[in-house]
């Protein structure tokens, strides 16, 4: 059977503020690393640098929407991206 391509993404939460309704951190996948800000009250995800951003944006956003209230500052998390980087 054919295995679907996938990449493991590693997420670190550096800051979480319920007053500002934001989660900030870093996500790494393949040879890429991005800083992100998830403004969960607005449903907006900001990712820097722009290089390779299209590779991670949808998968990261789905992960954050499903887990944002479970994430904690200083936490390390793992999720799978359905593509090979």
* Average pLDDT, 10 consecutive residues per value, the chain (85 residues): 86 93 95 95 94 94 90 94 87
Residue 36's domain spans which residues?
7-81
What pLDDT, on the 0 to 100 scale, is given for residue 51? 92
The answer to whether residue 1 sits within a structural domain is: no
The answer to whether residue 21 sits within a structural domain is: yes
pTM of the model: 0.88
Q: Is-contact 14 47, C-beta < 8 A? A: no
The answer to whether residue 2 sits within a structural domain is: no
The answer to whether residue 70 sits within a structural domain is: yes
Rounded to whole angstroms, the Cα distance separating 14 from 24 reads: 6
What pLDDT, on the 0 to 100 scale, is given for residue 1? 58
What pLDDT, on the 0 to 100 scale, is given for residue 68? 75
Q: Is-contact 36 50, C-beta < 8 A? A: no
> How many separate domains does the chain show?
1
The answer to whether residue 14 sits within a structural domain is: yes
């Amino acid at each position: 059977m054919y295995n679907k391509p996938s990449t493991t993404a590693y997420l670190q939460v550096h800051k979480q503020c319920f007053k500002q309704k934001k989660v900030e951190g870093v996500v790494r996948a393949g040879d890429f690393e991005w800083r992100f800000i998830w403004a969960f009250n607005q449903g907006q995800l900001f990712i820097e640098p722009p290089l390779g951003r299209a590779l991670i944006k949808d998968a990261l956003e789905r992960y954050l929407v499903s887990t944002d209230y479970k994430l904690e500052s200083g936490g390390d998390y793992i999720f799978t991206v359905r593509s090979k980087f």
